[in-house]
Structure 1
């Protein structure tokens, strides 16, 4: 029995034909976001099924929002998403590098080089880069950190926006630095407000929630207090199922209510016995409880989201309890201050714990602008976290990619087999970053690339890259155009993994789908 009979309901593509289609899919995907790379990159307008629009310069946002069906394109998007998850930057570079590597690999396949040999050569090139890339780094300082944060926002807004976002991100990063000098990004909360300008955004040490105390007679500010977090409420319980009460005496119902109130006040007495000063509940607080808490000088907040309770728990070293009566001394956290303040015309709860915590208040004139600024903060905080974890920086402007390509070409000359061609093709692929930067800046890509290579060789320095604002080849570190080591390294690793995975595919089978007739409702 032949393959045709077994796979009669499957569309099959094999050998070179399959590889060619896969490479074409990767190149087409890169073409969709190629123009967004660099400080001169352009924006994309995304429109969903409901007509909602989104203007963004972020490569991974474009790819994840678009409806992509091709499985190979999804593999490349997966590499870009992983880059975003790990490094928060370099997502566009990952896709462009992967597509260029596959383009160069296809040229070798046409010349008769087997894809398995190319994959081995690519792996050798990747390992060489990992071992050599640290030689091209510069130890960062506070000023270079700021410049690297600004570089991460290239093409994502005007100069004032980049300055504001980078400065606030660095401040927030310091607020959430632990004893080991590691930035705990999960302790940074971002809230948004419309009706102002981006420059009015601010960072507050502590957690800021759009909440006000349940009674204005409660203390406005608590210092050095004890806090309890309740994953529930302080209110009368409802029946878990439908029930009917048969009241035979007029006093029974009143006794029932008195017992409920007594049970609630017992919980308040337990809180007072624990010395609690601040109460935060995920659910509601009964009026009787509110009055008793007010008389006791306890500050209370209700309907606090579970995610916010988790943040407060980390900041104040408190354990979230499900039931007040089960709370013990070790469940109680401590806070340096808990205060209600007006921010941007709205009342907010600002709580500062002994643990680290910070809140960035993002402001903008419209919802769309605020959304884009939030994405900028998310990317910038990721880059800041990378720098605080590892202070080694690489020169930007394509300089590090050109330097690594030159290193690989020298390494390729030492390889006797056909893998030498694959390593050289890998090196060619790295140089695509400079070419695309030049294209987006309105410069000649080939001339710009050759100028960077010549300058690095003549000056014997890997710091020279392309300045897109004047078209000259300059020292990127001196200009403050730098990027964290982890971003470039992860981009190259991600692109290599995706390229090798696609190269190893020589058979694509598509299951045929029967035409479905939709059911018509009467």
Structure 2
């Protein structure tokens, strides 16, 4: 009998597995820790020919290969955090890593993983309840408030001038699509165009169509199409505008010249019918979801009608919102009520790309045209603005703010240390460890701002003990100051999800006794020796999404 030895072996294997999980999670959090805060350092990611310069945690974990299954769990925190609230991915992963690091010390002292997990969950519930006491009510319709909220996710990714500009641009975009039933983020379309300064970016009422990335195209006719049509009446048709031509199984049979003349008259009458259907409704611009016959395009051009063909279905819906037009299945169904209007339909060229801009002041559809010096700058600007607008929608769900700059984490840690002695059993040590992990956030903020992190942490504790609950790390000038007075605030729900997601990830890894890797390829089912090969997930991990058109926040 080898019972005791077997139990000891199992215990040792379990401890080793937990240690490996902790190490993997901590390693990933260390990758992102240097990017936390306004002065966090950028990272350049290079792979598959794509270069990305960013300090956005979600962008980083979305583009790197994560081999370890345990690290993949922590990386999932970024996806969950970004998907729920649009920001806080780096903070969530850094906190998860800090929780795992604190757990490692407790396990070395003989604490069971279950005890640590139970204590962490107790601390998490307490911290999330305490957030309500720290938070202040804010007006979700106040543009200055929205600008400050957006700045919380933008600051640190750009310099002060561009951060302020993009925060205001994001707030304006959000307010433009905010209705009585809440924000309609699907009504915001984002386009990035290199070749200009970031501050040249615009918020446009209506829709911008990038004809290079879209199937929408301007019909090619001999007559020069106008570059701009003002006070335009717009029609949208979901049909192919052509006279049916004979196919392989049927055709015209002409017995004399009169038959040919009648066939030509029939085609001409069909074109005239199409033409009258548009001109009698005063249509200036036609968007057709299918193709338009060449002869009809020429006739419409002579009438001064700008024709776009092969417009995508998703763009049709946006055009309806932008112009108030209603798409009709057949041109014969076109009515005065189904024709919309636009202040202007403009064809422009930016950086070698043709754009069609449908401008309408009363439009419920808006477009963000983001500029930047290079493609890399434009891509990062797109990520920043999409995150900011998504964060504003999260803020409206619970319009309450908590201090930024690590001030909230200090307040939560202070409360947990007072609360820990009331927790029965050894779980109180895990509650205190949770408080220490929370302070990793302001510690890192101070470190990335060039401050002495230990001195900064001690000063923060002293100020909070004295009742200055709004004091945090003012990373822009490397001081400890009242961050709320500087407008450095974060939505309550963002901070709530950071604590919840980090706790879930840490608890999940601490409960895993062993990771069993499988390989379903035929080669893995061979001889006994075949089972001794490396089970690493080659090529696995996190992959970036393709950069497609359009960037609609609602997608």
User: Do Structure 1 and Structure 2 share a fold, with TM-score over 0.5?
Assistant: yes
* Greater shift in the superposed pair: 353-362 or 390-399: 353-362
Counterparts of 1:347 and 1:19, CA distance in 2: 55
Q: Residue 313 of structure 1 contacts residue 333 of structure 1 at CA under 8 Å; is this kept in 2?
A: no
Q: Residue 78 of structure 2 contacts residue 89 of structure 2 at CA under 8 Å; is this kept in 1?
A: yes
Alignment partner of 1:480 is 2:487: yes
Alignment partner of 1:130 is 2:128: yes
Q: Residue 172 of structure 1 contacts residue 205 of structure 1 at CA under 8 Å; is this kept in 2?
A: no
Q: Residue 228 of structure 1 contacts residue 276 of structure 1 at CA under 8 Å; is this kept in 2?
A: no
* Greater shift in the superposed pair: 310-319 or 62-71: 310-319
State the partner residue of 1:492: 499
Counterparts of 2:127 and 2:282, CA distance in 1: 59
The CA deviation at 1:315 is 4.0
Q: Residue 198 of structure 2 contacts residue 370 of structure 2 at CA under 8 Å; is this kept in 1?
A: yes
Structure 2 unpaired stretches of 5+: 3-10, 212-216, 531-555
Decide which of 396, 406, 421 is 1:413's aligned counterpart: 421
Cα 1:294/1:465, change in 2 over 3 Å: same
Q: Residue 93 of structure 1 contacts residue 433 of structure 1 at CA under 8 Å; is this kept in 2?
A: yes
> What are the residue-to-residue correspondences of 1:61-460 with 2, within 5 Å?
61-140=59-138, 141-180=142-181, 182-210=182-210, 214=219, 220-221=228-229, 223=231, 225=233, 227-230=235-238, 233-235=240-242, 243=248, 249=254, 266=273, 278-294=285-301, 298-316=305-323, 320=327, 323-324=329-330, 327=333, 332=338, 334-340=340-346, 342=348, 348-352=356-360, 354-458=362-466, 460=467
Cα 1:246/1:290, change in 2 over 3 Å: closer
Counterparts of 2:144 and 2:84, CA distance in 1: 24
Counterparts of 2:509 and 2:119, CA distance in 1: 15
> What are the residue-to-residue correspondences of 1:3-18 with 2, within 5 Å?
14-18=13-17
Instruction: State the TM-score, normalized to the length of structure 1.
Output: 0.84
**SS at 1:55's partner residue?**
strand
State the partner residue of 2:25: 26
Q: Residue 276 of structure 1 contacts residue 298 of structure 1 at CA under 8 Å; is this kept in 2?
A: yes
State the partner residue of 2:518: 511
Counterparts of 1:223 and 1:209, CA distance in 2: 19
Cα 1:98/1:263, change in 2 over 3 Å: farther
The CA deviation at 1:203 is 1.4
Q: Residue 348 of structure 2 contacts residue 355 of structure 2 at CA under 8 Å; is this kept in 1?
A: yes
Cα 1:332/1:19, change in 2 over 3 Å: farther
Q: Cα deviations across residues 60-104 of structure 1 (Å, max 9, x unaligned)?
A: 111111111222222222221121122221111111111111222
**SS at 1:337's partner residue?**
strand
Structure 1 unpaired stretches of 5+: 3-11, 518-522
Cα 1:250/1:408, change in 2 over 3 Å: farther
Q: Residue 115 of structure 1 contacts residue 504 of structure 1 at CA under 8 Å; is this kept in 2?
A: yes
Counterparts of 1:263 and 1:247, CA distance in 2: 16
Cα 1:123/1:333, change in 2 over 3 Å: farther
The CA deviation at 1:390 is 3.9
Counterparts of 2:267 and 2:114, CA distance in 1: 74
The CA deviation at 1:433 is 0.5
Counterparts of 2:264 and 2:130, CA distance in 1: 75
The CA deviation at 1:224 is 7.8
**SS at 2:62's partner residue?**
helix
* Cα RMSD for the two superposed structures: 3.4
Q: Residue 137 of structure 2 contacts residue 400 of structure 2 at CA under 8 Å; is this kept in 1?
A: yes
Cα 1:289/1:129, change in 2 over 3 Å: farther
Counterparts of 1:501 and 1:395, CA distance in 2: 29
Counterparts of 1:70 and 1:221, CA distance in 2: 57
State the partner residue of 1:9: none
Alignment partner of 1:57 is 2:55: yes
**SS at 1:511's partner residue?**
coil
Q: Cα deviations across residues 93-151 of structure 1 (Å, max 9, x unaligned)?
A: 11111111122223223333332232222222222233221221233454343233223
